[in-house]
Amino acid sequence: MEDSQIIELYWQRSESAITETANKYGKLCRHIAMNIVGNFSDAEECENDTYVATWNAIPPTRPSVFSAFLSKIARNIALNKYEYNKAQKRNNEFDLVLDELEGCIAGRSTVEESYEQGMIAAAIDEFLESLSKEKRVIFVRRYWYSDSVKDIAKRMQISESKVKIVLFRVRNELQDFLAEREILI
Amino acid sequence: MTGKDLFQEIGMIDEKYVIEAQETKRSFIHNVVFRRSLVSAACLVVCVGVYFAIQMTGGSMNEATQAPQSFDQMVENSMSAEKEDAPMEWLQDENVRGDESAMPECEDSGFNSETSGDANVEMNSQMPTESLLEQIEERLAEYPDDFEDICQTEAFVVSYKSVLNGLEGWENFVADTQESMATSIDVVRFTVEGDPIITCVYYDGERYYVLEDNTRDAFTGNNVGITQRTFENMIMWQEEDWVEVVWTNEEDLNKEKLASMESKDYFLLTYPIGE
């Protein structure tokens, strides 16, 4: 079923909207959640919460790209779940992702007056646009989808070493980029 | 600002980058076959170019050691099938073809991966060639025998107690098959005596090709070698702490039916789940 048709089902408050969403994007939502929370049961819970959140969001929202809309919701829900579980259980792989990003801004702080929510995201958009497609995809797969290095290497059909090197360089470039724009000092 | 804050900020990037990363994936077949085709094509072009360059200058590879030929002899030689095939014979020489350093370096022509999910499905529904199946057999034969070395590979390694290696790769394999995307996975199981049985399950978008290498099994009897079977379906079910995966041509399969089937008509993989 086309995304526009699924969205229309939400607007009509038809329960088949959830079924159709699960059939088409259930795997994607679980994958994103799994990368963050690290276990099947929590990932399934995040998936179900994603459907609930989507049901509550549409209407009034009419997303232009349904898959990205769902992915973003799943990601945020999974992140909240991760925070909730952090005291009891660690997801080593996702902790690595956060550690890498921590290293990206290590030793720097934000200029408070410019740190408005979404402003840094806009700068990151500009930064991503400047990258080659391969570097950009590797960066987004690692820090948006939280894929493991191994998964990225397999997806891109390159070695894990190359993935690590690309990520290392891109993080350094991002750090310099944000510093030049005086978002980080 | 913390790493988590930055992670949240990254979560708000433009959707087009999220979609691009979701839809971009280099396929196993495309990458391997494409690269080798590029190398072969480049070699062919070089060989043909060298051949015609020699012809145009009126020389031959053995000119210095041979007596000067008459014009008629040269025409006859240049028209002979053997001479015309010389570049192809060189290309077919395994020692040269196998040595990629002897060939002009062909860089990957850039980011040629598919950019849409639909393209992935369309492009990857291809039966494996005999050459590819042979390559898979060679790869299985090259696996180490040692348990620890096997766990250093990308194979999905399981014992009756636990998953030892490669769970993520297995999950990616399952995910790809659900999207009808060509993919493959190497599975390593162990006999009671600890001998590894290495199986490659290759999926072409429609069927599963199961190649099993039992050459390391000391008690395999007369059936030593790499067997190949083809199945239409992959069926998974989970019971408590176990996942069972069956490759079969049966569509409506249950455990009772499976128990009554002959082993040659299915391939079964069982592995425990949970920590």
Please return the burial class of A147, using the count of CB atoms within 10 Å of its CB with bins 0-12, 13-18 and 19+. Answer: buried
pLDDT tens digits, one per residue of B171-185:
999 998 988 888 999
CB < 8 Å to A145, chain B: 21-22
> Which pLDDT does position B96 carry in this prediction?
36
β-bridge mates for residue B187, sequence order: B156, B199
Do the chains contact at A121 and B31, CB–CB below 8 Å? no
ipTM of model? 0.82
- Whole-number average pLDDT of chain B: 73
Check whether B66 has a pLDDT greater than 80: no
Closest to A76 (Cβ–Cβ): which among B11, B17, B113?
B11
pLDDT tens digits, one per residue of B92-111:
334 433 344 433 333 333 33
Closest to A65 (Cβ–Cβ): which among B2, B6, B19?
B19
pLDDT tens digits, one per residue of A119-141:
788 899 999 999 999 999 999 99
Check whether B91 has a pLDDT greater than 70: no
C-alpha distance from B66 to closest chain A C-alpha (Å): 50
Closest to B9 (Cβ–Cβ): which among A72, A124, A151?
A124
DSSP A29-62: HHHHHHHHH-SHHHHHHHHHHHHHHHHHHTTT--
Do the chains contact at A144 and B10, CB–CB below 8 Å? yes
C-alpha distance from B248 to closest chain A C-alpha (Å): 24
Check whether B258 has a pLDDT greater than 60: yes
> Which pLDDT does position B227 carry in this prediction?
84
Lookup: tokens for B266: 């299915």
> Which pLDDT does position A115 carry in this prediction?
53
Question: For every residue of chain B, which 3-state class applies, written as one string?
Answer: CCHHHHHHHHCCCCHHHHHHHHHCECCHHHHHHHHHHHHHHHHHHHHHHHHHHHHHHCCCCCHHHCCCCCHHHHHHHHHCHHHHHHHHHHHHCHHHHCCHHHCCCCCCCCCCCECCHHHHHHHHCCCCCHHHHHHHHHHHHCCCCCHHHHCCCCCEEECCCCEEECHHHHHHHHHHHHCCCCEEEEEEEECCCCCEEEEEEEECCCCEEEEEECCCCCCCCCCCCEEEEEECEEEEEEECCEEEEEEECCCCCCHHHHHHCCHHHEEEEEEECCC
C-alpha distance from B40 to closest chain A C-alpha (Å): 20
User: If interface means Cβ-Cβ distance under 8 Å, which residues of chain B face chain A?
Assistant: 1-4, 6-15, 17-22, 24-28, 31, 111, 113, 154, 168-169, 172, 175, 178-179, 273
pLDDT tens digits, one per residue of A13-46:
998 999 999 999 999 999 999 999 988 889 999 9
C-alpha distance from A17 to closest chain B C-alpha (Å): 20
Beta carbons within 8 Å of A47's beta carbon, 6+ residues apart: A22, A26, A29, A30, A33, A74
pLDDT tens digits, one per residue of A130-177:
999 999 999 999 999 999 998 999 898 888 888 888 888 899 899 888
> Which pLDDT does position B119 carry in this prediction?
35
Determine the residue among A35, A142, A143 to mutate to test chain B binding: the one whose Cβ has the most chain B Cβ atoms within 10 Å. Answer: A143
C-alpha distance from B178 to closest chain A C-alpha (Å): 9
> Which pLDDT does position B254 carry in this prediction?
82
The band of A47, judged by pLDDT with boundaries at 50, 70 and 90, is very high
> Which pLDDT does position B223 carry in this prediction?
58
Do the chains contact at B2 and A102, CB–CB below 8 Å? yes
For the segment B250-270, the average pLDDT, to the nearest whole number, is 84
C-alpha distance from A14 to closest chain B C-alpha (Å): 26
Do the chains contact at B24 and A71, CB–CB below 8 Å? no
Provide the residue count of chain B. 275
> Which pLDDT does position A85 carry in this prediction?
80
Kindly identify which residue of chain B lies nearest to residue A160, measuring between CA atoms. Answer: B154
- Which phi and psi angles does B144 have, rounded to 5°? -70, 160
Do the chains contact at B169 and A150, CB–CB below 8 Å? yes
Q: Are B184 and B194 in contact (CB under 8 A)?
A: no
More confident site: B103 or B78: B78
* A185 three-state secondary structure: coil
> How many A-B residue pairs are in contact by the CB < 8 A criterion?
116
Kindly identify which residue of chain A lies nearest to residue B177, measuring between CA atoms. Answer: A27
Q: What percent of chain B has pLDDT over 90?
A: 17
More confident site: A185 or B209: B209
C-alpha distance from A12 to closest chain B C-alpha (Å): 25
The band of A180, judged by pLDDT with boundaries at 50, 70 and 90, is confident
The band of B219, judged by pLDDT with boundaries at 50, 70 and 90, is low
Do the chains contact at A137 and B12, CB–CB below 8 Å? no
Which of A133-142, B74-83, B99-108, B241-250 has the weakest average pLDDT?
B99-108
Quote the pTM value.
0.46
Do the chains contact at A133 and B1, CB–CB below 8 Å? no
Determine the residue among B2, B4, B7 to mutate to test chain A binding: the one whose Cβ has the most chain A Cβ atoms within 10 Å. Answer: B7
pLDDT tens digits, one per residue of B124-170:
445 677 778 777 877 887 788 777 888 888 899 988 778 888 988 99
> Which pLDDT does position A184 carry in this prediction?
67
> Which pLDDT does position B35 carry in this prediction?
61
> Which pLDDT does position B60 carry in this prediction?
52
Closest to B21 (Cβ–Cβ): which among A144, A150, A184?
A144
For the segment B46-60, the average pLDDT, to the nearest whole number, is 78
Q: What percent of chain B has pLDDT over 70?
A: 67
Angle between helices B15-23 and A133-143 in degrees, nearest 10: 100
CB < 8 Å to A61, chain B: none
> Which pLDDT does position B36 carry in this prediction?
64
> Which pLDDT does position B174 carry in this prediction?
92
